[in-house]
Amino acid sequence: MSFRKRNIGLTGPSSLSTSTAQLSPTPTPGVRPSPLDGRPTTSAGTPPLDDLLAGHAGLALGNSLLIEENGTTDFAGVLLRYYAAEGVVQGHRVLVVGVGRGGGRELPGLVGTGERMRMRRKELTITAPLTPNRGPISRVKAQTEQTTPAAFIHNFDLTKRLTVSPGSIAYIPVSHSPISNPFSTIIPSLTQSLNCTPTNHNPPPHNPYSPSLQPSTHPTLAPPPISSPSCTPLRSLLRSHPARLSAMLTLPLSLHPRSTGLVRWIEHICDGVLELTPFPHRVEVEPPSGKAGKGESENPQGMVKVHKLPVLTEKGGGGGGGGMIWHFR
């Protein structure tokens, strides 16, 4: 007969991963250890998206997530805005590539605490809403102080606007010169803003987000040096700051189909790859980002295919092939 201390888990090597050692003891706002192996994660901005990420319940720091979208809708852009808004609310430094200064004004506003609790309960009954809650607006308190500081994720409302203090978002301009590699300017400015932050023990994670990361020219015309190395420095940047940086990128598939080698390389370089395929919407229904009425909220608006997941796929686990299919609303 043998005895075992009750509070010692039975899990073996997975809880002893090296990333645990790198975890700083005092928590950074908006960062929590993954329930799977303890590596630090930050929220991807929307709870259902966090749930998709292979059980880590968040985007592991030092990883990137590529969101591809078919058609002319902008669901990926909505997800990016949530990701950025979450970063702003948590006090992270948000770096934005490829969107003008106006982008910061379009971040979704925060839903008040009281309502947030209500919403959370409501979400349990509705499966995986990827679009924000459109709850009773009458009771909304715009930004309350009572939001618990330990909150990992906040609820946002697309119909409202987040007030962003001027310093919290840095915009990195993209040069549109057809000759030079646009990334030759982006990466140095990313590195610079990473380096110029005070390097105390607990630097807040940076979330650069890059709407429409686009190869500068048509893939067939562009010689490889211009096109695919673009995200490599980003990958090495992410890996060299494993506790400070996470990235989310988007790519319109209608312009850059997945059947090309170039896009496949971009996918290889990113850690997670999701593909959104919105259903063609009826004419009389309002465009989804314009907030349809409550009645439409039950209709799925498209499919999410998971091609690659951060951490899991690198280890060799599945999640590839045909990809998992989810509905988003």
Which positions touch another protein (CB under 8 A)?
A: 11-14, 17-19, 36, 55, 219-220, 223-225, 227-229, 232-233, 235-236, 239-240, 242, 258-265, 267-269, 273, 307-308, 313-324
Q: How far is the CB of 129 from another protein (least distance, A)?
A: 23
Q: How far is the CB of 194 from another protein (least distance, A)?
A: 14
Q: How far is the CB of 246 from another protein (least distance, A)?
A: 16
Q: 249 with 67: CB under 8 angstroms?
A: yes
CA dist 274 and 291 (Å) reads: 23
Closest Cα partner for 326 from 287, 308, 300?
300
**Dihedral sign for Cα atoms in the order 319, 325, 326, 328:** positive
User: Closer to another protein at the Cβ: 19 or 133?
Assistant: 19
User: Closer to another protein at the Cβ: 101 or 264?
Assistant: 264
User: Closer to another protein at the Cβ: 135 or 323?
Assistant: 323
Q: Indicate the DSSP class of residue 206.
A: E
Residue 60 Ramachandran class (φ > 0 left, ψ -120 to 50 alpha, else beta) = beta
User: Closer to another protein at the Cβ: 235 or 291?
Assistant: 235
Q: How far is the CB of 221 from another protein (least distance, A)?
A: 9
Q: How far is the CB of 51 from another protein (least distance, A)?
A: 16
CA dist 111 and 85 (Å) reads: 12
CA dist 128 and 49 (Å) reads: 8
User: Closer to another protein at the Cβ: 155 or 181?
Assistant: 181
Q: How far is the CB of 243 from another protein (least distance, A)?
A: 12
CA dist 143 and 121 (Å) reads: 20
User: Closer to another protein at the Cβ: 94 or 237?
Assistant: 237
Q: How far is the CB of 224 from another protein (least distance, A)?
A: 4
- In the chain, what is the straight-line distance between the N-terminal and C-terminal CA atoms, in Å? 53
CA dist 85 and 79 (Å) reads: 10
Q: 227 with 261: CB under 8 angstroms?
A: no
Closest Cα partner for 45 from 114, 107, 115?
107
The helix/strand/coil state of 128 is coil
User: Closer to another protein at the Cβ: 295 or 316?
Assistant: 316
